[in-house]
Structure 1
């Protein structure tokens, strides 16, 4: 089957009997072109199914009006909401986004940076993958003059603007709430990866115990990837102990949901016997039975602030704006899964 040649501005120019430069200026809404000509060019472009070559335009103009966004996964409500916040701000600047997923795979993240370079994006917004410990690919982006802003999963190894919530405070609030409900043997699901958010949530858990006179028990801290099946396996592990916990605080809502499934299958009452709390305020948490106590990460606000910092960096150009760190205050969402005293 013969492939149909792509329509160019020269084809439109030939159809309208004008120059290619006139067509180009009309498509870019140049004030040098009359409204009559602009309408004629746009009409012909639509009829001929003309698709602009964004990469060629970026080479000519020095910008593509496209932001590259890298997230571990786009099917998580948290990341989807952050992306929405970024797009809301980007649209006001007439910018579009390209969304790429690293799947927490270091090699994939490196390849994605290279692909975004090739796509001539004007800069990158990223949340670092769990397995990323070498940041050379991000440093390379900075050396090439690309604006870079990090959100949620960040690192101090890069001198860039960052937006995150106070993960330590969020975790501290959860554990403090569980203690107020009479819990004394509180387990914690965390991740073994070197990701700041999980390290900070673990630190908040430990300090809340200490500040309230409760001992830290290493056997109550279970490491996993914090997905649904991990939560199930972690809860099964805790139930093998001589004395099971009276509460579980998971650093992710999915881990808490897995624990909830196991407890219900075993006939263990929530929260009477084991109180539960998660982290992130994923949409499903308000629909579980009982509804799950969690921490709202203010994802939409995070996305908007991240985009604002990106455009500040973009405006600064070669001068580079001074990196800013924005730390949002998390909100504890208390629901029935943790209310031992509210039964």
Structure 2
């Protein structure tokens, strides 16, 4: 006769103790002695007992699972963000459930719904590029579901945020180009309803004004900042009567796309057009010339986001004040922007 799945009753019968004692021992209850806990754990291993996590979650009210919503996982920035989240979560006994919005609002809404159905203890999210209605996140706040927004954020009550200082990163990138002798600097900007791109545009503009250079609307080019967008924007710049002598791109991908087109059209980088990107993707060191970029400390951002979420989880049911964590960016200067040797 085939033996069925082992239960706490089987363990209790073997050890001649009550099922409730077995349950408490497996849950590391402080009222159960260390000796009894060890006996129960050894017998559980011998009988190949599988802990019922769902039942335990229903009893405790916690699944020890963190939900994560990201625009994509195929970029180094977001992959590193996940690594930072997992490092903290796993050290605290939590698992991580990852979903992707693919930068689409409807998918992001579905991601939130799916994670809630999975009874995650809280959610860490970076907002999709196409999201303009934040009701699905606002509802989390109303339901007292712990929420942390990172990188791409918006103002949501009860949500903590973790960001890089996008304004400062953009200011320093633009300032560097000015100090290299550039005077006509184009900016590849992202969707302005997303704070990160709004602040990067502000940093660019203020750096120009601080150095007495005019802010020119025609040199601000909006796009989705993909590689193909960078190619198209570079073609647009080549059609202008006067080519800019520098580009500050709000993403490395668009910067790389522009670099490819400019080189294909015989433009020397950085001698004729200096270029700085944003994110410090790994490929920045391998393109020719190597691409200057603003480092976003993505692993550290993920770690801060996980700590902030777990703090909310632990304070659930009590008064909790959300807070904003701002990390300091670092400008990594490489050959693509070094006109002054």
Are 2:177 and 1:178 equivalent residues in the alignment?
yes
- SS across alignment from 1:319: coil
**Aligned equivalent of 2:307:** 308
Q: Show structure 1 runs of 5+ residues with no match.
A: 1-5
1:108-150 deviations in whole A, cap 9, x for unaligned?
1111111111111111111111122222211222222211111
**Aligned equivalent of 1:165:** 164
Q: 1:36 aligns with which of 35, 39, 49?
A: 39
Between the aligned partners of 1:297 and 1:203, the Cα distance in structure 2 is 17
Count, aligned residues: 335
Q: Show structure 2 runs of 5+ residues with no match.
A: none
Alignment of 1:73-222 (within 5 A): 73-222=72-221
Q: What's the offset of the Cα at 1:24?
A: 4.4
Between the aligned partners of 2:175 and 2:124, the Cα distance in structure 1 is 34
Between the aligned partners of 1:12 and 1:138, the Cα distance in structure 2 is 45
1:28-59 deviations in whole A, cap 9, x for unaligned?
3453644233212123326xxx4x54333321
Contact 2:71/2:103 (<8 A) preserved: yes
Contact 1:131/1:194 (<8 A) preserved: no
Q: What's the offset of the Cα at 1:15?
A: 9.9
Q: Structure 1 residues 23 and 213, CA, compared in 2 at 3 Å: closer, same or farther?
A: same
- SS across alignment from 1:278: strand
**Aligned equivalent of 1:322:** 321
Q: What's the offset of the Cα at 1:178?
A: 0.4
When the two structures are superposed, what TM-score results if normalisation uses the length of structure 2? 0.91
Q: Structure 1 residues 238 and 7, CA, compared in 2 at 3 Å: closer, same or farther?
A: farther
Contact 1:102/1:108 (<8 A) preserved: yes
Q: Structure 1 residues 107 and 81, CA, compared in 2 at 3 Å: closer, same or farther?
A: same
**Aligned equivalent of 2:7:** 9
RMSD of aligned alpha carbons: 2.4
When the two structures are superposed, what TM-score results if normalisation uses the length of structure 1? 0.90
Greater shift in the superposed pair: 247-256 or 154-163: 154-163
Q: What's the offset of the Cα at 1:328?
A: 1.2
Greater shift in the superposed pair: 181-190 or 126-135: 126-135
Greater shift in the superposed pair: 36-45 or 174-183: 36-45
Between the aligned partners of 2:186 and 2:20, the Cα distance in structure 1 is 68
Contact 1:65/1:96 (<8 A) preserved: yes
